[in-house]
Amino acid sequence: MASKEMEQLKVGMKMMMEKGFAVTFDGSMDPMTLRNTIQAAQERMAIEPDVTFIPEKIKDMDAEISMPAGARQDAVIIYIHGGGLICGNAVSSRGYASMLAGESKLPVYAFSYRLAPENKFPAAVDDCFAAYKAIQEKHPDKPVFLIGESGGAYLSIVTAMKARDNGMRMPAGVIPYSPVIDMSGALNRVREGNKDFTVTPEGLTWLREFYCSAEEAVNPYVSPYYDDMHDMPPMLLAWDESESLSVDSEDIQRKLEKNGIECHAKSYPDCFHAFATTGRGTPESMEILQDTIAFINAHI
């Protein structure tokens, strides 16, 4: 059963949807309208006090470092924003990026990777991998952690896969909240108990058409479902057990455990997709934030 704070948050979100201030990924909205609405909502997120935003260029991408007061220098975080691969940028990432920085006392990088439908696969994957390489080169002796939600969680996993496949130094840990790992339709997301009001199975099919071709959907860098997750770094997974993408997290968990890879995984009842980024707003998301910081500290 969800907390009373979570129930209140869901009621508020649904009211915002009715008024057009928030949207659901259900395939009913033009992608540009969806982008503008979601980015506006992201930009309304509270910004952590005592965090400074330092402009940066990573390759040719606009980027920011969320730098907390009294920052530690023993690791860095890369936060890859979500938004269905069609929404978001470095500035709209400030809410959760600054919260991560404030809680961890570590510098947090965010960047504006290329978005679909203007830039289809492999643009976002290439950008995230390029950013990871550049940040690794800038901090050669520091552990690097990848964190993302939804589409950003997918990109975090794929970035670690590409580091593995290219013989690079691996992330110290990957923290995907509600990842999407299958664009091909192989996973059955229509099942009893699905209460997701933010991302529907139909909406995921709609998003795939903006992101990649049907032929590309079986590429493991599009759908990590087709990777066996060998030699991956430790992961912390968190998701809503009633969301459309719950099967995605469950599949990742099974593969990591089969390979003997450290995996901390927890699902939460009756929340919503990618609720982790509400941070201190509910007991459930606060627990994930605390678990995230503990995971990072344990792997530095």
Residue 184's CB is within 10 A of a number of other CB atoms, namely 17
Residue 172 inside a domain? The answer is yes
Whether the Cβ atoms of residue 147 and residue 80 lie closer than 8 Å to each other: yes
Residue 229 inside a domain? The answer is yes
- Mean per-residue pLDDT, 98-114: 98
Residue 80 inside a domain? The answer is no
Confidence of residue 26 (pLDDT cuts 50, 70, 90): low
| The pLDDT of residue 174 | 99
Q: Poorest-confidence range of 64-68, 205-209, 257-261? A: 205-209
Confidence of residue 93 (pLDDT cuts 50, 70, 90): very high
Q: Poorest-confidence range of 127-136, 202-211, 240-249, 283-292? A: 202-211
pLDDT in tens, 219-268: 999 999 999 999 999 999 999 999 999 999 999 999 999 999 999 999 99
Residue 113 inside a domain? The answer is no
The domain of 11 spans: 4-50+141-298
pLDDT in tens, 138-165: 999 999 999 999 999 999 999 999 999 9
CATH, residue 227? 3.40.50.1820
Whether the Cβ atoms of residue 86 and residue 118 lie closer than 8 Å to each other: no
Q: Are strands 61-68 and 51-58 parallel, antiparallel or unpaired?
A: antiparallel
Inform me whether the pLDDT recorded for 51 exceeds 90.
yes
Backbone angles phi, psi at 158, to 5 degrees: -65, -35
Q: State how many domains the chain has.
A: 1
Confidence of residue 7 (pLDDT cuts 50, 70, 90): very high
Report the chain's mean pLDDT, rounded to a whole number. 93
Query: Up-side HSE of residue 182: CA atoms within 13 Å toward CB?
Result: 18
Residue 18 inside a domain? The answer is yes
Q: Is the pTM of this model over 0.85?
A: yes
Residue 23 inside a domain? The answer is yes
Note every long-range contact of 262-266, with CB atoms under 8 Å and residues 24 or more positions apart, other chains counting. 262/234, 262/235, 263/234, 263/235, 263/236, 263/237, 264/234, 264/235, 264/236, 264/237, 264/291, 264/295, 265/235, 265/236, 265/237, 265/238, 266/237, 266/238, 266/291
- Mean per-residue pLDDT, 64-90: 96
Give the span between the Cα atoms of 124 and 86, in whole angstroms.
10
Cβ-Cβ contacts under 8 Å for 269 (sequence gap 6 or more): 1, 2, 240, 241, 242
Token duo for residue 163: 């580091």
Residue 73 inside a domain? The answer is no
| The pLDDT of residue 139 | 97
Residue 117 inside a domain? The answer is no
